[in-house]
Amino acid sequence: MLFNSYAFIFGFLPITLLLFFAISQLSSYKWAKLWLIVASIFFYGYWNVAYLPLLLLSIAVNYYLGKTISEVEPKSKLAGFLLLLGLCTNLGLISYYKYAGFLLLQQIIY
Count structural domains, the chain. Answer: 2
Regarding whether 96 and 42 lie in a shared domain, the answer is no
Regarding whether 83 and 29 lie in a shared domain, the answer is no
Query: What is the C-alpha to C-alpha distance for residues 19 and 32, in angstroms, rounded to an integer?
Result: 8
Helix (H, G, I), strand (E, B) or coil at 32: helix
> Looking at residue 9, what is its pLDDT?
93
Regarding whether 18 and 42 lie in a shared domain, the answer is yes
Query: What is the C-alpha to C-alpha distance for residues 71 and 99, in angstroms, rounded to an integer?
Result: 35
Mean per-residue pLDDT for 61-77?
Answer: 93
Regarding whether 29 and 68 lie in a shared domain, the answer is no
Regarding whether 23 and 12 lie in a shared domain, the answer is yes
Helix (H, G, I), strand (E, B) or coil at 1: coil
Mean per-residue pLDDT for 51-73?
Answer: 94
| pLDDT above 70 (res 1) | yes
| pLDDT above 70 (res 110) | no
Range of the domain at 72: 48-110
pTM value is 0.75
Mean per-residue pLDDT for 73-92?
Answer: 93
